Amino acid sequence: MSLTSMLESAAHGGTVEVEEGWTQGRAIYGGLTGALMLSAMKGKLRDLAGSTGSPVVVPPLRSLTVSFVGPAATGPVDVEAEVLRVGSNVIQCQATVRQSDAIVATALAAFGRHRESSISVPPAHPMLDLGDPAAVEPFPYIKGLTPEFYRFVELRQVGGQMPFSGAEAADLSGWTALREAPERFEEEHLVLLTDAWPPAPIQMLDGFAPGSSLTWTIELIAEVGPDVVPADANLAYAATTDAARGGYAHTHAMVWRPDGELLAISRQTITIFG
């Protein structure tokens, strides 16, 4: 099942067959898990609009919060979504992913229509000068050494050090894209790519130790769609580690379009076993 097929299947709800290779360690890659739940919620909203005779227009995604409850293996997973409330401007939804009758991930999403407002504050974080992505060699996919999902996602690191290299700093930056461009770039693709980078603080470890996302929130600053983001776009990414202690780290990251427009802010709580 291709990425497009998995997202389309999730939009209908029910069982989705996750293709081999979409893993990170022993679990399905978290960015894909988030994208599947988002697709399920948008599918539920389209169904709701269709049942009431309303125009099938899903408002722009404003935020998505994912809690990774447990690991899920590739193969069949059950993805279900529910509309919690439809307001005059904002719609709230939730989704779950289950495998073998156990919840492995949950998500809450807020979709919001445009409002008239007198407040306008430009983004405080301009895009870093990361140079030309074509001048940076992407991470290779090496079976048994790199995450399996690197077969589908391309990362070009510019700032920071390699994971488990004993670095003194804990920030990270670079370019990311899908190796095979989709027909149309949608919010689901942004969600998938934003989680592709390794947790920024694990570069400080001087040897391998497990680490994984516990919770993850992505806040969309600008609208995302095929009319504003090219399907083959390299997105700029820069992560900052805000704090780390007691086996937990807290990071925030910015994601920009190639033209410098801020698309999203990503925030993570990360568990580190080392």
Q: Judge whether residue 146 has pLDDT over 70.
A: yes
Q: What is the pTM of this model?
A: 0.95
pLDDT tens, position by position, 197-237? 999 999 999 988 878 899 999 999 999 999 999 999 999 99
What's the CATH code, domain 128-274? Answer: 2.40.160.210
CATH of domain 1-113: 2.40.160.210
What is the predicted pLDDT for the residue at 55? 60
Residue 112: pLDDT over 70: yes
3 state SS for the chain: CCHHHHHHHHHHCEEEEECCCCEECCEECHHHHHHHHHHHHHHHHHHHHHHHCCCCCCCCEEEEEEEECCCCCCEEEEEEEEEEEECCCEEEEEEEEEECCEEEEEEEEEEECCCCCCCCCCCCCCCCCCCCHHHCCCCCCCCCCCCHHHHCEEEEEEECCCCCCCCCCCCEEEEEEECCCCCCCCHHHHHHHHCCCCCHHHHHCCCCCCEEEEEEEEEECCCCCCCCCCCCCCEEEEEEEEEEECCEEEEEEEEECCCCCEEEEEEEEEEECC
Do 1-113 and 128-274 show the same overall fold?
A: yes
pLDDT at 273 over 90: no
State residue 116's pLDDT score: 87
pLDDT (tens digit per residue) in 20-47 = 999 998 899 999 999 999 999 999 999 9
Please write the tens of the pLDDT for every residue from 173-208.
999 999 999 999 999 999 999 999 999 999 999 988
Domain boundaries, the chain: 1-113, 128-274
What's the mean pLDDT in 104-123? Answer: 93
Residue 53: which pLDDT band, with cuts at 50, 70 and 90? low
Q: Is the pLDDT confidence value at 52 over 90? A: no
